[in-house]
Every structure is written in structure tokens, then in C-alpha cells.
Structure 1
Amino acid sequence: MKEDLLHYVWKYRLFFTNDLISTNNDDILVLKNGTHNQNSGPDFFNAQVKIGEQLWAGNVEIHLKSSDWYIHNHEKDKNYDNVILHVVWEHDVEIHNNENVTIPTLELKEYVSKELLNSYQKLFSKPQKWINCENQISSIDSFVMNNWFERLYFERLERKSVLINELLSASKFDWEAVLFRLLAKNFGLKVNAESFFEMANMLDFSIVRKESGSQENLESLLFGQLGMLNDLKESQYFNVLKSEYNYQSKKYKLKTVDRSSVQYFRLRPTNFPTIRISQLACLYNLNQNLFSKLVQIENLDDFYKLFSVSTSEFWETHYTFEKESKKQVKKLTKSFVDLLLINTIIPLKFVYLRYIGKLNETEIIGLIEQIKPEKNSIIENFADLKVKSINAFQTQSLLQLKNEYCAPQKCLQCAIGNVLLKN
């Protein structure tokens, strides 16, 4: 037995409510269970309980044992003076508040069904291979799953909004600058995300605007700020960029990076930082006021057209500055644009529309539903459990489910866990 199960049972009234009797043999009638408090203080606020002939309004505290009241020193804490009922699984001692007034106690174990306890044991007690409900999740009704997915997806958007709001506050709500920093982070992928993000944060976006008229100038700026032009190389293009960056660093009084932190290890050549930086430079060379364009687009094909960019000519025959390769036009793929949409554009659009008071959640879901499902081990494992995804809305929801509910075993806060327990 865990205390969070008692919270769950009390919150949803999953106990026999008829003929409730306190440990002092007073009749108890629960009119309002109260509001669940997730912070410090009593567990439920603003409950209404009739004890004997007296109607009480106040707070409810829940423990496994009555004696936990003293273990937690609640008798010395004024925040617990307004507790009108102590709900416990096992009553082992009378309890009092700091004025030495006895607090009525309800021992709950006699009022909870064995079926609920068995369901709880089934969900939690046995060691599972991956998630607690792996043998039952495929039986959940599709209506329940779809509604839960919607909440999960917007929880995920809210989590991504934290960084966006921090950047907006730091930039005095320069939406274009924030977009550039987030795109830079995403162009770096997992391996170079932090290096690219740090580079973008070091740059005043006004400099990017000024240099975006020339892709070569913009490449020199970005490569230079990443510390990728510090070495001595024989490449003519490298030295052109280096010369330009030396001029830029003096002109804009840039803080230069002593040593590049970008990585090539375990990256496919098309994902090399050199290629991604050139593509990012091309995107901004071709598009002034990129954020303004993006917030007006609602159709997936229009996003693909806007992001139909490649590298500068040098990178068509190179993956690094030194070694020449077979000529290939290296355009952004649709799958890469999908990642940008999922991780940057849709979250930023979500924050912007809410900021201007025009958020339409149906529109946001409609956009993410147009994107193909992501491929990773978590999504594959859910598919093995017969929970298959047909679009990115579902894969994003499943990632949120696994990371924020399954992994920390918050089954009692999960709609799936609720169904399984109540059944």
C-alpha cells in the first residue's frame, strides 16, 4: 500500500460511502472531497464533511498510519490547524493539532473493495519488461486513448514552451531572433544541438539579418562563431570564409570561440555540421522575416516548399573543408523538415498564437496530424504492444506518456491507469 493510492481513492471516491464511521464511532458523510493539493500543506483543500450532526468545512490530510501525523510534525504546524478529517489506511493512535484538539479520523481500509486493491496489485506489484500496463494497454478503448493523447500532446507543447518563453523574455519578444536560435539548435540535431544553440545565443540576431544578404558571408559568420575557422587549412573556400570572418569579428566586436566543440562522430555525412550550417545559411539568405512567413502557413506542403533549401556550391562536392566528394545537391529532406516542425515551428506557433489570443487547438492538432509518425525505440516498443501510430500527433503523445507517466510510474495520474484500476 502506498499513500498515493489513498490520495487516488479519496479524490475519485473509490470507496464505499455509505455508513462511514470515524474511529470514535461518529457517522461521517462526505459532501465534498476537496481540491487535491500538489504542493506543501494538507492533501485536500476546501472539503465539506458532516461528522455526527456537525457540518465541517476545511482540509483533509491523508496518511498510511495515524502516527504519521506526528512523524511529519503536523501537530506543530499551523498549516494543519484547519484539518477537519484525518483519512488513514490504518488507525494506530489518536492525533491532535497544535491546540491539542482531537482530529476525527476515518480508517479507510474497511471501505475499499478488494477488486480495486487487486487491480492495483496487478498493475504495480509484478516486475514488468517495459511499462506497468504492457499486458493491458491494447484493451483500452480508442475514445479514451484519443482524448488522453490530446492532453498528452498539449502537455508536451507546454514543456517545450518553457525554453521558448525564456528566450522571448531575454530577447524582449523578438520572435525572429528566437526562431533563429531554436532552428540553429535543431539543425545541430542531438549531437551538436548545444553547440549550435550556444553559437546562436552568442550572436545578436541583428548581425544575422545584416549578413543574410550573402550566403557566403552568413556561412563565414556561423562557422566562425562555432570556432570552425580557427585552424590552418589549404582549402581556398575555407580561407575565403576565414578572411571574411576576421573582418566580421572586428566589425561587430564578436566574441570568438577558441576551439570548435562540434562533433562528426556517428553522424551520417549529410548530417555533418558543415552541411547543416550551410543549409541554415541558405534558409536565411533566401528568406527575410522567416517567422512572419511561418506563422501564416497551415498546410504541410507549403512548409516543405519554404524549407526547400540546399547548401552553397562548395558543399555540393564536399562534406568537410579538406576532402572532395562526388557532386550531390544536398537539400533538406522532408523527414528533416518534419523534425523542425515537430520540435521548433509548431511549439513556437503554439506560443505565438496563445500570446496574441488566437490559439486554436484544433488547428495545432490538424497540423501535427499531417506529419508522418516518428521512428524511434519508444514508438517501436508501443507498436509491439499493439499501440500503433499513424502520425506525429500520436508519436509525440506516446513519447510524453512514456517519459512523464510510465517511466516515473505515475499510473494513478494516467487516464489509462485510471481505466484499468476502475475496471
Structure 2
Amino acid sequence: MLFTEDFLHYVWKFKLLDFRNLQTTEGEAVEVIAAGMRNFDSGADFQNARIKIGDTLWAGNVEIHVASADWHQHNHSNDDAYKNVILHVVYRNNQPIMLPNGKPLPTIELVNRISAELYGRYHQMVYGNQQIIPCEGTIKTVNSLSMHNWLTRVLVERLEKKSVTVINALQINTGNWEETFYQFLAANFGFKINALPFELMAKSLPQSLLAKHKTNALQIETLIFGQAGFLEDDFAEPYPLKLKGEYSYLKKKYNLVPIEKHLWKFLRLRPSNFPTVRLAQFAGLITQCNHLFSKILEEQTVAGLRKLFSTIVVNEYWDTHYRFGVVSKPAVKSFGNTSVDLLLLNTVAVFLFSYGKHYQLHSYTNRSLELLESLPLEQNHVVNEFKELGVKAKSAFESQALLELRRSYCDLKKCLQCGIGNEILNTNR
């Protein structure tokens, strides 16, 4: 048989072996009262197990190996973390393991105790020639409740990972949630292609500084375009000339250093997604909503959250421009529903979850999940591939979960750590 220790961990955890006449290699009867809790840190694989060996009930740890000789190869004999091992579970006992007192380490061998059917499903899943995911041929057989429960757990895992990034940034910003949210919001305004220059611009222009000019839309626009590096050129039109003149004053007043203009990407972008348009929309949002994160925390409805972003007013100059100095056909540069949904998904939901987790306020983590449930399904190749396999997502809640499932479980073939994989492998199916 070809498998890893992970498979034996799975078999032991869910008691999927044949327990009839179970004995140690020394011939003592074994009864597994409790398999123990899986340990992912240093030390034995399962802790706090309760095993009856002969007439004695033991409480301690269980170590699992494919071959008993692995005990020495992993240097467990010289590691104090393995002193409390009460049972050695191996697929094949190829070398007796002796304790320091000269007695053999109680060992059970699993040869002929694992169902060929279970192993066949495992082998096909992990070593098969699947094109998309390991369980692509069977995932559609998983019942809807199990699927929903596992996707919920995976989504929470995804949000927890993202919250670590948020909290790390929060620490850099000395606990200032408004500043941290402003920086992440800016990065997501640039979407993937211009996320970095947007983030650098925001970090060069603190939200607290913008707050000083909250009643002057022109100065907000000046500071944002100036720090983005777009006001270093020569202009002929009144609007950019006015911005440049104003920026010259504010730059000296606050000792500002703009980012490099060449960092911004225009190539292969639709004009409505040009960074100049996005910056104008960002300026409109900052002008409209000072201390935006506080407003988000207060807003109880999804409609209210959406309204914060969907009513952005952009300077009329951009009605006939996509770039400075280049006139275009008239078109209002409103912030579309798709863009609003992306900000709600990638910024607002993440920050509500991070805030709730940081302060242990479940009302905010629940609001994050409810927000994702209300957002429309994302369209990407991962969602489409799962749809082909019979898993049809209905909202951003599920599409985000599928992205995490694919990246953290399917692509790494962690089927034995996956609730879906466990159900498929379970011999009771």
C-alpha cells in the first residue's frame, strides 16, 4: 500500500480500523477507550488518549508511523516530548522499539486492519489522475448540509487569515482603526493591478491629514492626485492647473513627498478603470465620508453600507476626461455596483470580521458573514470549475469559501483534513 502518515492519522482519529481481537505485537489485548486529540504542535500525534492494554487502563499519548522503525529515524527516543507515549500505532512493525527501562513500547500493527475499500477511495483521491480537484468525481454526492457546514468553516478560516494581516497593520498604525481601514480601502480601490501604488499613496498621505481639509473638496483632490504623482506635469486646462498650484502650497506646508508616477498602470485597462478615474472616485469618497470606518461600524444594514459607496460624487472635470489633458466623450464616472460589491467584499467584510475577532464581539463577525451572504456570486474560473463538478455557489459567501477550499485544501491535496474529503472517504457512506 502507498500512503502517508496522514492517512493513518485519519484512520485512527475516526476509528476506521478493524478492532476485532486487537492486540499489541507482544500479544496483549488492546481496547481503545478514547483515541485522543490530534496534536499539530511538537510531540506525539494524539494526546490525552485512554487505552486499555491487558488489565491496565492507560492515559497518555499515541504516536503513529507507517513503519515502527520511523520512531528511531525521527529521533523520538531522545526527545522528552515522547516520554508519555502509551501506544505506538504502525502500519507495519519492522523493528521492535524498546523503552529506556528495557521493556518494549506497546505497539499495534494495522496490516490487514484497514478496509481495502477505504484505501481504494483514499488512493484514488490522492494519487488519481484528476484534472481539477482530488474528489472531482464524487464531490457532488456530498449532502448539502455537510457541504454548507464545511464551506462556512473554510470561509471563517479565510477571514481569520486576512484578519491577521489587518491586525499586523493595525499595530504599525498604533491601534488606529480609521487609518488602517483607509490604507486597505485605498489598496482595494486600485484593485489588483494598481493596488500597490494606491496603498503607497495612502501611506504617504495620512487620513488624519485629509481630515483637516474635509470641508474643501478641491484640496482633498489636490492632496490625493499630488501624492499620487500626477501633478508634476505641465498643464493647459484650468482644473489641473488649479490642482497643481494648490499642491505646490500644500506640499511645502506638510513637507509631502509624492510617490513615483510611473508606478501607475494604464495598459490593458478599460478607461473607466484608469487609475486617474479611480483616484477621482477615491477623493470623492473621502470628501463625502470622513472617519468612514466609524460609519461602517454604526451602519446596521447592507443597503446602508452600499449607499456609503454608491453615492460618490466625482469632480465634473472627469465627465469629459479619463486622463489629465485628454478630452473624451462625455460620460459620468460613477462608482458602479460591481466596484461597490468588490469593496464591500474585500475591505468592509474583512474589517468587520477583524474588528469583531480582535475585540471578541461576535455581532461584528456575524455581520461580516451576513454581508458576504448578501453580495452576489463572484465570477471566476474556480467558481466555474466547481459548478461543472456539481457544486453551485449562490453568493459571495460561498464563492469566497470555494476559493479558500481550492487553495488551502484541494490544490495541496489535504483531503484528510477536509470535511468534504472525510465524508467521501467514510466507510459508512
Q: Same fold (TM over 0.5)?
A: yes
Q: CA deviation at 1:326?
A: 0.8
> 1: distance between equivalents of 2:238 and 2:24?
87
- Residue 382 of structure 1, CA deviation: 1.1
Shift of residue 22 of structure 1? 0.9
Distance 1:262 1:235 in 2: 22
Q: Partner residue of 2:376? A: 372
Q: Distance in 1 between matches of 2:116 and 2:278?
A: 59
- Amino acid aligned to 1:341: L
Find the counterpart in structure 2 of residue 256 from structure 1: 258
Q: Distance in 1 between matches of 2:201 and 2:104?
A: 63
Q: Where do 1:348-363 residues align within 5 Å? A: 348-360=351-363, 362-363=366-367
Provide the rounded CA distance (Å) in 2 between the counterparts of 1:402 and 1:66.
34
CA distance in 1, matches of 2:297, 2:202: 21
Q: Matches of 1:272 and 1:70 in 2, distance apart?
A: 61
Partner of 1:420: 424
2:395 maps to what in 1? 391
C-alpha displacement of 1:249: 2.3
Q: What residue in structure 1 maps to residue 314 of structure 2?
A: 311
Deviation at 1:362, TM superposition (A): 4.7
Aligned residue for 1:311, secondary structure, equals: coil
Deviation of the 1:191 alpha carbon? 0.3
Q: Kindly provide the CA deviation profile for residues 331-372 of structure 1, in whole angstroms up to 9, marking residues without a partner as x.
A: 111111111111110111122234444313554333222111
Match of 2:127 among 125, 128, 132: 125
Alignment correspondent of 2:407: 403
- Name 1:332's counterpart in structure 2: 335
Deviation at 1:42, TM superposition (A): 1.3
Name the residue aligned to 1:83: 85
Q: Which residue of 2 aligns with 1:9?
A: 11
Give SS of 1:274's match.
Answer: helix
1:302 match: 304
Once residues 393 and 97 of structure 1 are traced to their aligned partners in structure 2, the CA distance between those partners, rounded to angstroms, is 52
| AA matched with 1:338 | D
SS at match of 2:361: coil
Quote the residue 2:173 is aligned against: 171
| Paired residue type of 2:340 | V
How far did 1:54 drift?
2.0
Deviation at 1:218, TM superposition (A): 1.7
Amino acid in the other structure paired with 2:341: D
Taking the aligned partners of 2:76 and 2:367, their CA distance within structure 1 comes to 49
AA in 1 matched with 2:333:
K
Give 3-state SS (helix, strand or coil) of 2:150's partner.
helix
Task: Name the % identity.
Answer: 40
- Residue type at the aligned position of 2:190: G
Please give the secondary structure, in 1, of the residue aligned with 2:43. coil
Q: Which residue of 2 aligns with 1:181?
A: 183
Stretch moving more, 37-46 or 198-207:
198-207
Residue-pair matches, total: 423
C-alpha distance in 1, partners of 2:258/2:200? 12
Secondary structure of 1:86's match? strand
RMSD of equivalent CA atoms:
1.8
Name 1:200's counterpart in structure 2: 202
- 1:208 maps to a residue whose letter is L
Amino acid in the other structure paired with 1:334: N
Q: What is the rounded CA distance, in whole Å, between the counterparts of 2:215 and 2:20 in structure 1?
A: 76
Deviation per CA, 1:62-120: give whole Å up to 9, x if none.
11111111111111212212111111111100113456553111111222111211111
| Structure 1 residues 47 and 248, CA gap change in structure 2 (3 angstroms) | same
Whether the aligned pair in 1 keeps the contact of 2:352 and 2:367 (CA below 8 Å) is: no
Task: Find the counterpart in structure 1 of residue 162 from structure 2.
Answer: 160
Q: Is the contact made by 1:87 and 1:108 (CA closer than 8 Å) also made in structure 2? A: yes
Q: TM-score, normalised by structure 1?
A: 0.95
SS in 1 for 2:193: helix
Cα distance between partner residues in 2 of 1:184 and 1:408? 32
Mean Cα deviation higher: 328-337 or 300-309 = 300-309
Alpha-carbon deviation of 1:327?
A: 1.2
Determine the C-alpha separation between the residues in 2 that align with 1:419 and 1:194: 42
SS at structure 2 position matched to 1:190: coil
CA separation in 2, counterparts of 1:249 and 1:52? 82
Task: Structure 1 unaligned segments of length 5 or more: list them.
Answer: none
SS at match of 1:87: strand
Q: Please, what TM-score do these two structures have when normalized by structure 2? A: 0.94
Range with greater deviation from structure 2 (224-233 or 329-338): 224-233
Q: Aligned runs of 1:243-282 on 2, under 5 Å?
A: 243-282=245-284
Asked whether the equivalents of residues 349 and 369 of structure 2 are also in contact (C-alpha less than 8 Å), the reply is no
Question: Which residue identity does 2:412 align to in structure 1?
Answer: P
Q: For residue 398 of structure 1, what is the amino acid of its counterpart?
A: L
Could you tell me whether the CA contact under 8 Å between 1:164 and 1:178 is conserved in 2?
yes
Residues 172-230 of structure 1: CA distance to partner in whole angstroms, max 9, x if unpaired?
A: 32221122111101101000112211222233321121133222222222222222333
Deviations 1:152-187 (CA, angstroms, capped at 9, x unpaired): 221111111111111222223222112211110110
Name the residue aligned to 2:216. 214
Whether the 8 Å CA contact 1:74–1:97 is kept in 2: the answer is no
Select 2:25's aligned residue among 23, 38, 55: 23
